[in-house]
């Protein structure tokens, strides 16, 4: 009797001890109450109760254990929240996880199947919550249930994404309704098995994006997704399962794939240096990724304007280039032929037919004999063209891709095919003649260039010999030896830079401004550089040169351009930067044709990237740095259109508790300067916030603030539309097809908050970054600090101070009344 009496006491004591220690699992005798967590063995993930954002509701979920900002990767009761902290998660004797509310009613449970023997629930370092038999040795066999089979908005490395054809299990992603509401949103991303399997992103039932079909080597719609030393991905297709899975060899990095509330799929990794998530992949990427952009029988090519073109043998259906195409010549069934089309994302396979056990020649015969067959292609390219894929509906959602090595054979009237082949032959002959002509011209041109170069080289050698012998030592008055060592920045030899830039050849010039010119250079090891050469009459003198070197030398951030070195020899002042192949942002957003290459998602990436770069300067760098010349021309774009802030010649740093300074020498670029700086020479981090606000509005609208209108400027124009509730009219017409209007309106709102007249009203950059990424309510902005060209000039007859502004190589003198 004594043993029986003590048993409940012992069990209660064990439960009490378990509740006060960090656990990796629970059994049928244990539970998790609100405030308690279980943690994976490597302390990577935690499971417990949480409230997303400012929500009062409570959910059971899994999140990253050691990341400062709680980031959930899985939610159990996403559609059935608790409204208090009375919830309890338990594991019953049948191996079912149950979530109970204050009435002990079940509001969520796992659908565990199979016979359970001493079941236990464990949280693994993969982020997978599993329920398994506790006394078995075969983990796979003893597995009863796992959270990996029921993804939410996040997919983790090693997690299957697809379908089990035996059980009917569909592992798919669905967006949250908002950042504070994890219930099923309007977007879902899943494997569609109607026809040949393909991954499709939908808004409700409407297709938004198609990942393309697997051809044994790659997905036809994502040719850049390739195996690497860091990333491994798998696509399994057999009679039992169809699924995709990705893994990373470096387990110390946290990676995830997220379906956002706006309907984008983002691949991100945790950046320990920045303490934030960094983006390495996203879809849709551009306008051509959106489903059926150009209609039937038309390809979408993002590199041309307009992007839509009919396939050979087809003509536009309507005057609208996005309305699709129709056949120029009607088909006659058994006399038709097939025209191969290369380098395409395979058309939508929703209503296609396929066979894995058929040769490509038999596939052609099958398609020819069926008059309803519109096109055919090989199913598997892993061992040469093999298998058969047939289309019986219009060919839709086709885009041009350079890295896809597969042909689609489109049915065409024989007469049309002959005409097309004749046209192609004619083009081929023309190209041959053009090639011969070009070779002859190039040979003559090279010969002339060589003779000219030899002559110029001899003259230059003679001229530079005396000049460089007298002054090849660094100008120690600019950067002394102590400073040079502290910078840990190499000083390039002038001969190295002149060789890399072909002696500052005009052919190598990338651009020009008030400071001088920028040249592209190629070093002896093949590395590409950009060389900023300050001219003798540059508005950036030796102090500005030193200022730029000293400020940027030790700055390390993905959104700041990287300084590789400098040179001070023979009177030259040279800064050597990493090369940015896409030049500056202003060359895109203010150009009628190139602006179409920057769709809304790309513009948002640039807006967010510049914000993070400024936040680093203002808050996370060794000294608080104010850039003082932020503008579209000083935002450079790398090969993937990632933004990098450049040109620190006018930057100033604050030490200690300094937050503001004044100057009598006001410099900067007209259109980006805040009123307090123009009038009183006062500058602070809020000065950069104002410039950033102007930049936001320029990026969204595609219009310059300077010179927007002879009676007005962009800030005044946007403010007027904002007060009238017509902000949608601000959005650049070039991005109307890709823009997420609610996101654009929020971005405009943030821009107006940044350009408020009173610096104290403007948010700091940490608040700006949060406002851009969240969906919380925004404060109403006050009147922006905008000036028309007439109001800036003031009254020249009154007492005044002299202010100087630069606009590239243009200098303006403004008289402001005191």
Q: What is the DSSP string of 287-335?
A: GGGBTTTT-TTEEE-TTSSS-EEEPTTEEESSSSTTS-EEESS---GGG
Q: Are residues 648 and 634 in the same domain?
A: yes
> In b/e form, how buried is each residue of 222-236, taking b as 16+ CB within 10 angstroms?
bbebeeeeebebebe
> In b/e form, how buried is each residue of 721-735, taking b as 16+ CB within 10 angstroms?
bbeeeebeebbbebb
pLDDT of residue 543: 61
Q: Are residues 711 and 802 in the same domain?
A: yes
3-state secondary structure of 311: coil
Q: Half-sphere exposure of residue 666, counting CA atoms within 13 Å on the CB side? A: 26
Q: What pTM was estimated for this model as a whole?
A: 0.54
Backbone angles phi, psi at 648, to 5 degrees: -105, 25
CATH code of the domain covering residue 764:
1.10.510.10
Task: Please tell me the distance from the alpha carbon of residue 739 to that of residue 728, in angstroms, as a whole number.
Answer: 10
Residue 532 among known ligand-binding residues: yes
For residue 403, give the nearest of 443, 345, 458, 463 by alpha carbon. Answer: 345
For residue 82, give the nearest of 57, 110, 48, 51 by alpha carbon. Answer: 57
* Residue 187, domain member (yes or no): no
Q: Are residues 628 and 706 in the same domain?
A: yes
Q: Are residues 562 and 692 in the same domain?
A: no
Q: Are residues 585 and 689 in the same domain?
A: yes
DSSP assigned state of 150 = S
pLDDT of residue 81: 96
Q: Are residues 674 and 697 in the same domain?
A: yes
Please answer whether residues 55 and 181 qualify as being in contact, where contact means their C-beta atoms are separated by less than 8 angstroms.
Answer: yes
Q: Report cis status (omega within 30 of 0) of the bond before 768.
A: no
* Residue 184, domain member (yes or no): no
Q: How far is CA 686 from CA 503, 622, 632, in A?
A: 42, 19, 18
Residue that terminates a domain, selected from 101, 133, 150:
150
What residue has token string 């509330």?
261
Sorted by sequence, the CB contacts under 8 Å of residue 437 that are 6+ apart come out as none
Q: How far is CA 779 from CA 754, 765, 782, in A?
A: 12, 15, 9
* Residue 189, domain member (yes or no): no
Residue that terminates a domain, selected from 557, 579, 601:
579
Sign of CA dihedral 357, 358, 360, 363: negative
698: exposed, middle or buried (Cβ count in 10 Å: 0-12, 13-18, 19+): buried
**Cα dihedral 422, 428, 431, 436 in deg (nearest 10):** -120
* Residue 267, domain member (yes or no): no
Task: Please tell me the distance from the alpha carbon of residue 173 to that of residue 164, in angstroms, as a whole number.
Answer: 15
Q: Are residues 306 and 392 in the same domain?
A: yes
CATH code of the domain covering residue 95:
2.90.10.10
3-state secondary structure of 256: strand
Specify the number of domains making up the chain: 5
Residue that terminates a domain, selected from 126, 150, 174:
150
* Residue 307, domain member (yes or no): yes
Domain that holds residue 529: 472-579
Sign of CA dihedral 592, 593, 596, 598: negative
* Residue 243, domain member (yes or no): no
Task: Please tell me the distance from the alpha carbon of residue 191 to that of residue 471, in angstroms, as a whole number.
Answer: 69
DSSP string covering 663-707:
-SS--SBTTT--HHHHHH-EEEHHHHHHHHHHHHHHHHH---STT
Please answer whether residues 106 and 79 qualify as being in contact, where contact means their C-beta atoms are separated by less than 8 angstroms.
Answer: no
Sign of CA dihedral 58, 64, 67, 71: negative
CA R_g for the chain: 32
DSSP assigned state of 347 = P
Would you state the structure tokens that stand for residue 607, as one six-digit string? Answer: 């807006």
Backbone angles phi, psi at 504, to 5 degrees: 55, 50
Active site residues: 629
DSSP string covering 429-455:
HHHHHHHHHHHHHHHHHHHHHHHHHHH
Task: Please tell me the distance from the alpha carbon of residue 686 to that of residue 692, in angstroms, as a whole number.
Answer: 10
Q: Are residues 742 and 772 in the same domain?
A: yes
Would you state the structure tokens that stand for residue 208, as one six-digit string? Answer: 């938004």
- Please list the rounded mean pLDDT of every run of 10 residues in the chain (818 residues): 46 46 84 95 96 95 93 96 95 93 94 81 95 73 91 96 92 95 96 92 94 83 64 84 85 87 89 80 85 94 86 88 90 90 91 91 94 93 87 94 83 80 49 67 78 68 44 44 54 92 91 79 91 69 66 79 86 88 91 88 95 89 83 91 87 70 74 86 91 96 77 84 94 91 95 95 92 88 69 34 36 31
What residue has token string 């109450």?
33
DSSP assigned state of 620 = I
pLDDT of residue 252: 72
Sorted by sequence, the CB contacts under 8 Å of residue 325 that are 6+ apart come out as 295, 296, 297, 298, 310, 311, 314, 315, 316, 317
* Residue 298, domain member (yes or no): yes
Q: Are residues 482 and 508 in the same domain?
A: yes
* Residue 496, domain member (yes or no): yes
Q: Are residues 391 and 428 in the same domain?
A: no
3-state secondary structure of 37: strand
Please answer whether residues 797 and 818 qualify as being in contact, where contact means their C-beta atoms are separated by less than 8 angstroms.
Answer: no
Q: Are residues 511 and 603 in the same domain?
A: no
Q: Tell me how crowded residue 271 is: count the other CB atoms within 10 A of its CB.
A: 13
Would you state the structure tokens that stand for residue 315, as one six-digit string? Answer: 């003509």
3-state secondary structure of 10: helix
Please answer whether residues 578 and 562 qualify as being in contact, where contact means their C-beta atoms are separated by less than 8 angstroms.
Answer: yes
Q: Are residues 452 and 484 in the same domain?
A: no
Please answer whether residues 780 and 761 qualify as being in contact, where contact means their C-beta atoms are separated by less than 8 angstroms.
Answer: no
Task: Please tell me the distance from the alpha carbon of residue 425 to that of residue 403, in angstroms, as a whole number.
Answer: 25
Task: Please tell me the distance from the alpha carbon of residue 704 to that of residue 702, in angstroms, as a whole number.
Answer: 7
Sign of CA dihedral 575, 581, 585, 590: positive
Strand order in the sheet with 154-155: 154-155, 255-259, 265-271, 276-283
Task: Please tell me the distance from the alpha carbon of residue 495 to that of residue 534, in angstroms, as a whole number.
Answer: 17
pLDDT of residue 484: 47
């Amino acid at each position: 009797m004594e043993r029986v009496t003590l048993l409940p006491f012992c069990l209660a004591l064990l439960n009490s001890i378990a509740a006060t220690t960090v656990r990796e699992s629970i059994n049928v005798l244990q539970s998790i109450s609100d405030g308690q967590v279980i943690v994976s063995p490597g302390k990577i993930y935690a499971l417990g109760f949480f409230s997303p954002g400012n929500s009062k509701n409570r959910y059971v979920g899994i999140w990253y254990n050691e990341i400062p900002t709680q980031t959930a990767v899985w939610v159990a009761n996403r559609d059935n929240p608790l409204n208090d902290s009375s919830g309890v998660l338990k594991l019953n004797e049948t191996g079912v996880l149950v979530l109970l509310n204050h009435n002990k009613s079940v509001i969520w449970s796992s659908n565990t199947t199979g016979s359970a023997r001493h079941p236990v629930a464990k949280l693994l370092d993969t982020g997978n919550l599993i329920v398994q038999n506790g006394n078995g040795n075969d983990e796979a066999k003893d597995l009863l249930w796992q959270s990996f089979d029921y993804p939410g908005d996040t997919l983790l490395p090693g997690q299957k994404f697809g379908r089990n054809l035996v059980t009917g299990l569909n592992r798919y992603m669905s967006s949250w309704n908002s950042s504070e509401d994890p219930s099923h949103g309007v977007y879902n991303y899943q494997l569609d098995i109607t026809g040949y399997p393909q991954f499709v992103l939908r808004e409700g039932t409407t297709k938004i994006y198609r990942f393309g079909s697997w051809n044994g080597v790659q997905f036809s719609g994502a040719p850049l997704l390739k195996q690497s030393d860091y990333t491994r991905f798998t696509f399994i297709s057999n009679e039992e399962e169809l699924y995709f899975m990705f893994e990373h060899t470096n387990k110390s990095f946290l990676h995830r794939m997220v379906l956002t509330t706006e309907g984008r799929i983002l691949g991100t990794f945790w950046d320990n240096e920045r303490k934030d998530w960094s983006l390495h992949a996203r879809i849709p990427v551009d306008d051509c990724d959106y489903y059926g952009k150009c209609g039937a029988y038309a390809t979408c090519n993002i590199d041309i304007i307009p992007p839509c073109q009919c396939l050979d043998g087809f003509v536009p259906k309507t005057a609208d280039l996005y309305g699709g195409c129709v056949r120029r010549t009607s088909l006659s069934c058994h006399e038709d032929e097939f025209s191969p089309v290369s380098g395409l994302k395979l058309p939508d396979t929703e209503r296609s037919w396929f066979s894995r056990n058929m040769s490509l020649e038999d596939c052609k015969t099958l398609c020819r004999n069926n008059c309803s067959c519109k096109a055919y292609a090989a199913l598997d390219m892993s061992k040469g063209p093999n298998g058969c894929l047939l289309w019986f509906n219009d060919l839709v959602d086709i885009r041009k891709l350079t890295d896809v090595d597969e042909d689609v054979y489109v049915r065409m009237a024989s007469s049309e095919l002959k005409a097309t082949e004749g046209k192609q032959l004619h083009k081929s002959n023309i190209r041959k003649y053009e090639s011969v002509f070009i070779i002859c011209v190039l040979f003559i041109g090279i010969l002339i260039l060589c003779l000219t170069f030899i002559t110029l080289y001899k003259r230059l050698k003679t001229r530079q010999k005396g000049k460089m012998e007298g002054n090849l030592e660094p100008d120690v008055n600019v950067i002394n030896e102590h400073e040079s060592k502290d910078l840990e920045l190499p000083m390039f030899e002038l001969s190295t830079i002149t060789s890399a830039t072909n002696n500052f050849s005009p052919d190598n010039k990338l651009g020009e401004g008030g400071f001088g010119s920028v040249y592209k250079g190629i070093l002896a090891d093949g590395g590409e550089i950009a060389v900023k050469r300050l001219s003798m009459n540059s508005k950036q003198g030796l102090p500005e040169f030193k200022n730029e070197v000293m400020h940027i030398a030790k700055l390390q951030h993905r959104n700041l351009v990287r300084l590789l070195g400098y040179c001070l020899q023979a009177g030259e002042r040279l800064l050597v930067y990493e090369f940015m192949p896409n030049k500056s942002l202003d060359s895109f957003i203010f150009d009628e044709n190139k602006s179409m290459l920057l769709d809304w998602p790309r513009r948002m990436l640039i807006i967010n990237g510049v914000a993070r770069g400024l936040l680093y300067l203002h808050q996370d760098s060794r000294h608080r740095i104010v850039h003082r010349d932020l503008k579209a021309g000083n935002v450079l774009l790398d090969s993937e259109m990632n933004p990098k802030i450049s040109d620190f010649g006018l930057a100033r740093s604050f030490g200690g508790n300094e937050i503001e300074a004044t100057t009598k020498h006001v410099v900067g670029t007209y259109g980006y300067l805040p009123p307090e700086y123009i009038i009183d020479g006062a500058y602070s981090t809020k000065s950069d916030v104002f410039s950033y606000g102007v930049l936001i509005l320029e990026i969204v609208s595609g219009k310059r603030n300077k010179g927007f209108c002879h009676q007005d400027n962009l800030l005044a124009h946007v403010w007027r539309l904002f007060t009238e509730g017509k902000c949608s009219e601000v959005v650049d017409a070039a991005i109307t097809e890709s823009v997420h209007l609610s996101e654009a309106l929020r971005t405009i709102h943030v821009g107006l908050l940044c350009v408020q007249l009173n610096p104290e009203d403007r948010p700091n950059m940490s608040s700006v970054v949060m406002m851009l990424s969240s969906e919380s309510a925004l404060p109403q902005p006050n009147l922006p600090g905008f000036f028309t060209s007439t109001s800036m000039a003031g009254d020249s007859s009154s007492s005044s101070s002299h202010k100087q502004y630069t606009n590239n190589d243009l200098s303006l003198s403004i008289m402001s009344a005191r």
